[in-house]
Amino acid sequence: MRVRPANRRLGILLSGRGSNFEAIADRIASGSLQAQIAIVISNIETAPGLERARASGLTTAFIPSRGKARDEFEAEVVGVLKQHDVSLVVLAGFMRILGATFIESFPYGILNIHPSLLPAFHGMDAQKQALDHGVRFSGCTVHFVDQSLDGGPIVAQAAVPVMVSDTADSLSARILKEEHRIYSEAIELVLAGRCEIEGRRVLIHE
């Protein structure tokens, strides 16, 4: 199945620092990624990423998740994304697992970035998991989101070496640099209609 988003309008979801969001915004500002950030949504009111989005004049929404059933929260988020005519949802450090309500509303229309070479080290603290396991290389993965945890078809990956002297922080910083590069590249591939899903594989067309 060829993925062909109807437009280049992104909806960014974040829960924290927002450095991936900023890297994407920078690429758009410099003209190297052709896209519009239609809205930035956070489930955490004080998320630094949300603050930065507000400060840079983007449309933002704080949608609390606490105390709500997952379906209710997701229906609200999907409603806001649709209202803003978003065709690609970009999870950028959004620390909630998405359920069926959300995923079925954007079939192959949601990307996530994860700080490991999936399928290794899914879930929380992926960089520490990699360090504790003793791997020589780790990295990051951009993938389409489906019902599995960090398990959807992979669009892009980048590897980095793990040094003997690494801490979780130093490894995270090395990986983050690559995250900032490959996320925008993967978004461009999807928006340009170059991705075809074939089972678990994503074929990239010219």
Active site residues: 114
User: How many Å apart are CA 132 and CA 115, to the nearest integer?
Assistant: 15
Q: Say if CB 202 and CB 196 are below 8 A apart.
A: yes
Q: What is the DSSP letter of 169?
A: H
Q: Which is nearer to ligand GAR, 158 or 196 (CB)?
A: 158
Q: Which is nearer to ligand GAR, 81 or 126 (CB)?
A: 126
139 vs 4, 12, 79, 158, CA distance in Å?
27, 22, 34, 5
Examine residue 49 and tell whether it contacts ligand GAR (CB under 6 A): yes
- Give the range of 29-37, 60-68, 111-119, 154-162 binding ligand GAR by CB under 6 A: 111-119
* Distance of closest approach, residue 113 Cβ to ligand GAR, in angstroms: 5
Q: Say if CB 115 and CB 179 are below 8 A apart.
A: yes
Cα angle value 4/140/49 (rounded, 5°): 80
Examine residue 18 and tell whether it contacts ligand GAR (CB under 6 A): yes
When CB distances to ligand GAR are compared, the closest residue is: 93
Examine residue 5 and tell whether it contacts ligand GAR (CB under 6 A): no
Q: Of the candidates 115, 139, 152, 153, which one interacts with ligand GAR according to CB under 6 A? A: 115
Q: Of the candidates 5, 11, 93, 152, which one interacts with ligand GAR according to CB under 6 A? A: 93
Size of the site for ligand GAR (CB under 6 A): 15
Cα angle value 122/26/152 (rounded, 5°): 25
User: How many Å apart are CA 129 and CA 93, to the nearest integer?
Assistant: 17
Q: Of the candidates 50, 61, 77, 92, which one interacts with ligand GAR according to CB under 6 A? A: 92
- Which positions lie near ligand GAR, rule CB under 6 A? 14, 16-20, 49, 92-93, 113-115, 126, 176, 179
